[in-house]
Amino acid sequence: MSARSRVIVLVIALALGPLILPEFHITLLNYIGLYALVTLGLVLLTGVGGLTSFGQAAFVGVGAYTTAYLTTAEGLPGFVAWVGVSPWLTLPAAVLLTVVVAAMLGLITLRLSGHYLPLGTIAWGMSLYFLFGNLSFLGGHTGLTGIPSLNLFGMDLKDGRHFYYLIWVLVLGALWLSQNLLDSREGRAIRALKGGTVMAEAMGVDTARSKMVVFLVAAGYAALSGWLYAHLQRFVNPTPFGLHIGIEYLFMAVVGGAGNVWGALVGAGLITVLKQWLQDLLPRIFGASGNFEIIFFGLLMIFVLHRARDGLWPVVRRLFPAQAAAAGVVAAAPLPIREKPVAGTVLLDVRDAVKKFGGLTANNQMSLSVKAGEILALIGPNGAGKSTLFNLVTGVEPLTSGEVHFLGGRVDGKASREIARLGMSRTFQHVRLLATMSVLENVAIGAHLRGRQGVFAAAFHLERAEEERLLAEAARQVELVGLTEHLMDPVGSLALGQQRTVEIARALAADPSLLLLDEPAAGLRYLEKAALADLLRKLRDNGLGILLVEHDMDFVMGLADSVVVMEFGEKIAEGLPEEVQGNPDVIEAYLGGVD
């Protein structure tokens, strides 16, 4: 069965559910739907984007309280009172308010790095929770009653079976939008966050924006769930929006499988059903005397994570393997290409670059220049400062002093992604690819700046024409580096040497004028090196400038037009390969350490 037909079966099963299932199953499915919405947001945020949040329950609360307050409060001023007339008007209000709150919190907390971020989410999650309890117009700790039920086409959605359809239409809609979003240029930018911001920024991704996008999407889903919750429950108080519940949502995401949108459904379903099941079963075994549910629940979760640490969705998928979707890249019109400088134009000009880390001088008075149609090799022993220079040139690290010019303009002080936009593209010494994504998708991240379509177009798949062109371009680059047979394989399954080659394809997908390669030949076999050298020569002949950091002398000497040698952060020699090879300082630097 193909993936698509399974989804159809699922939709039919869900549609028929209320007709055959007993009432309480519907109740549970309703809650599963509500939880799945929040968890879906967390899958995007945590599983895909790598941003751990404990605070989603608080966003559910903002959504729920917004509609609860607007639909029950009396004597509201006229300019807001009209919103409270119908829950359908409070829906946009709830989502909007939550997204605004999230945007403010995101502005502060998304800048937090590492473990500061999850703690930041705990902090505002707790604050919002206690705020709900302390604001008397929100009913304080006791809560707000009398929230109206929803009404759709004159039908009162008091009955769980009716509400069920509303919930699941929204859940499936959210799943569809999320899947669409992930499978797009914007989605790849979000997924790239997990590979580290340095890589994403080097590919031109505005990581701050991508983080905010996924954060707001997750908050929006949480608000939607909160709105539904308020009208299903018709009562709100702070307890369902506390830290414990926030942790539980994260739990659902991880146990279900945080790497895939379907994991949200599996996680929400499993945990809800399991708790109910334990509550029914355990008193029969142990009698009514103890409270064993929570203990068994904890133990079962430990067991599940021991057996399936990526969550249950991958297990489910292994049990019922889907036929691979027709691996296909549709032929599409090529993307417009950048106007390249004529051969011989100076592309990169580094002037007296100095970089100090505390007392350590990593680069001292380094100068070099690369011209279009030239391969410049930067060599030197380990720790000579080559990678630091790369980072200075590409805007990852600020210079202590000195200047970097690219295509005639100063770029030192500019952000990586702005430099990337000007036409400089790079690879990394330690491969920075997303192991679970296919070769094609990894390479397509490189073409990020060549697309324009935004989040909404992606969510509704209105950008398919552009997407096809981006993927076709990525496929073309994969073909160029000779990895077409692995086009749809996950990058993690490739040998390290091949992964380096994927990095080159990704850099080329940006259509750069200058290519910076950090040890591209490491880990390659003899024939692969020869092929790589051929490729680089061909690129050079097409007018590309290449700056190459490499250890392999044979590879460099046969390839480079000129060579710069570094040692202890300084340039010790420069010239044609043959000249440099004979330079006694270079021989000393390279061989001195050996004997």
Partner 1 sequence: MDLQIALLLGQDGIVNGAIYALLALALVLVFAVTRIIFIPQGEFVAFGALTLASFQVGRVPGTLWLLVGLGVLVAVVEIGIATRNGTLRRLVSALTWNVAYPAVAAIIILLGEPGTWPLVVQVAAALALVVPLGPMVYRLVYQPLQSASVLVLLIVSVAVHLALVGLGLLFFGAEGSRTTPFSDARLDVGGVVVTGQALWVVGASAVLIVVLYVFFERSLWGKALRATAINRTGARLMGISTTQAGKLSFALAAAIGAASGILIAPITTVYYDTGFMIGLKGFVGAIVGGLASYPVAAGGAVLVGLLESYSSFWASAFKEVIVFTVIIPVLVWRSLTTRHVEEEE
Partner 2 sequence: MKLKPVAAGLIAAFAVSFAYADINVGVTVSATGPAASLGIPEKNTFALMPTTIAGQKINYIILDDASDTTSAVKNIRKFVTEDKVDVVVGSTITPNSLAMIDVAAEAETPMISMAASSRIVDTSNPKVKWVFKTPQNDVQMSSAIVESMLANKVQTVGFIGFADAYGEGWYNEFSKIAEARNLKIVASERYNRGDTSVTGQVLKIMAARPDAVLVAGAGTPAALPQKTLKERGYSGLYYQTHGVANKDFIRVCGADCEGTLLPAGPVLVAAQLPDSNPIKKVAMDYTNKYEATYGKGTTSTFGAHAADAVNLLAHAIPVALKTAKPGTKEFRAALRDAIEGLKDVTNAHGIVNMSPTDHLGFDQRSRVMVKIESGAWKLQ
Residues forming contacts to partner 2 in the complex (CB under 8 A) are 6, 9-10, 13, 21-25, 27-28, 31-32, 130, 133-134, 140-143, 145-146, 158, 160, 229, 233-235, 237, 239-240, 262, 265-266, 269-270, 273-274, 276-277, 279-281, 283-284, 288-289, 291, 293-294, 312-313, 316, 320
Among 393, 397, 367, 348, residue whose Cα is nearest residue 570: 367
Which residues ranging from 195 to 234 are in contact with partner 1 (CB under 8 A)?
A: 195-198
Residue 398 touching partner 1 (CB under 8 A) = no
Work out which of 74, 78, 154, 309 binds partner 1, going by CB under 8 A.
309
DSSP characters for 464-513?
HHHHHHHHHHHHHHHHHTT-GGGTTSBGGGS-HHHHHHHHHHHHHTT--S
6 binds, among partner 1, partner 2, none (CB under 5 to 8 A by kind): partner 2
Give the C-alpha separation, 549 to 263, whole Å. Answer: 42
120 binds, among partner 2, partner 1, none (CB under 5 to 8 A by kind): partner 1
For the bound state, the minimum distance from the C-beta of residue 276 to partner 2, rounded and expressed in Å, comes to 5
Work out which of 235, 292, 568, 590 binds partner 1, going by CB under 8 A.
292
Query: Which of 1-9, 188-196, 414-422, 449-457 is the region at the interface with partner 1 (rule: CB under 8 A)?
Result: 188-196
In the shown chain, the binding pattern of residues 21 to 60 toward partner 1, with x for contact by CB under 8 A and - for none, equals -------------------------x-----x--------
Tokens of 70: 């607007």
Residue 407 near residue 190, CB atoms below 8 Å: no
Residue 149 near residue 156, CB atoms below 8 Å: yes
Work out which of 306, 339, 578, 595 binds partner 1, going by CB under 8 A.
306
27 binds, among partner 2, partner 1, none (CB under 5 to 8 A by kind): partner 2
Residue 294 touching partner 1 (CB under 8 A) = yes
222 binds, among partner 1, partner 2, none (CB under 5 to 8 A by kind): none
Find residue 404's DSSP bridge partners: 350
Sign of the alpha-carbon torsion through 85, 89, 94, 99: negative
DSSP characters for 7-70?
HHHHHHHHHHHHHHS-HHHHHHHHHHHHHHHHHHHHIIIIIIT----S-HHHHHHHHHHHHHHH
327 binds, among partner 1, partner 2, none (CB under 5 to 8 A by kind): none
Give the C-alpha separation, 348 to 416, whole Å. Answer: 15
Output 126 or 572, the one with its CB closest to partner 2: 126
Q: How many CB atoms lie within 10 A of CB 126?
A: 16
Output 33 or 118, the one with its CB closest to partner 1: 118
297 binds, among partner 2, partner 1, none (CB under 5 to 8 A by kind): partner 1
Q: Could you identify the residue written with the tokens 């770029």?
A: 411
Tokens of 515: 């290519």
Q: What single letter denotes the amino acid at residue 549?
A: V
Residue 416 touching partner 1 (CB under 8 A) = no
For the bound state, the minimum distance from the C-beta of residue 141 to partner 1, rounded and expressed in Å, comes to 10
Q: How many CB atoms lie within 10 A of CB 142?
A: 10
**C-alpha pair distances (Å), 185 with each of 70, 207, 450, 455, 505:** 38, 13, 10, 9, 17
For the bound state, the minimum distance from the C-beta of residue 453 to partner 1, rounded and expressed in Å, comes to 29
User: What residues have CB less than 8 Å from 157, skipping those under 6 apart?
Assistant: 149, 150, 151, 163, 166, 231
In the shown chain, the binding pattern of residues 108 to 127 toward partner 1, with x for contact by CB under 8 A and - for none, equals xx-xxxxxx--xx-xxx-xx
Output 6 or 338, the one with its CB closest to partner 2: 6
For the bound state, the minimum distance from the C-beta of residue 159 to partner 2, rounded and expressed in Å, comes to 9
Question: Alpha helix locations (H) across 292-382?
Answer: 293-307, 312-319
Output 8 or 108, the one with its CB closest to partner 1: 108
Output 55 or 269, the one with its CB closest to partner 2: 269
Pairing of strands 346-357, 401-406: antiparallel
Output 243 or 480, the one with its CB closest to partner 1: 243
DSSP letter for 463, please.
Answer: -
Work out which of 186, 201, 293, 503 binds partner 1, going by CB under 8 A.
293
10 binds, among partner 2, partner 1, none (CB under 5 to 8 A by kind): partner 2
Residue 423 touching partner 1 (CB under 8 A) = no
Which residues ranging from 227 to 266 are in contact with partner 1 (CB under 8 A)?
A: 243, 247, 250-251, 254-255, 258
DSSP characters for 363-400?
EEEEEEEEETT-EEEEE-STTSSHHHHHHHHTTSS--S
| Angle of helix 160-182 versus helix 207-233 axis, rounded to 10 | 170
113 binds, among partner 1, partner 2, none (CB under 5 to 8 A by kind): partner 1
Among 410, 478, 427, residue whose Cα is nearest residue 203: 427
Output 10 or 247, the one with its CB closest to partner 2: 10
For the bound state, the minimum distance from the C-beta of residue 562 to partner 2, rounded and expressed in Å, comes to 58
Give the C-alpha separation, 59 to 219, whole Å. Answer: 6
Give the C-alpha separation, 455 to 190, whole Å. Answer: 11
For the bound state, the minimum distance from the C-beta of residue 275 to partner 1, rounded and expressed in Å, comes to 11
Question: Alpha helix locations (H) across 509-567?
Answer: 526-541, 553-559
Output 88 or 116, the one with its CB closest to partner 1: 116
Residue 260 near residue 313, CB atoms below 8 Å: yes
Residue 273 touching partner 1 (CB under 8 A) = no
Judging by beta carbons within 10 Å of its beta carbon (0-12, 13-18, 19+), is residue 20 exposed, middle or buried? Answer: exposed
Residue 567 touching partner 1 (CB under 8 A) = no
Q: What is the binding site for partner 1 (CB under 8 A)?
A: 46, 52, 108-109, 111-116, 119-120, 122-124, 126-127, 130-131, 134, 194-198, 243, 247, 250-251, 254-255, 258, 290-295, 297-299, 301-302, 305-306, 309, 430, 435
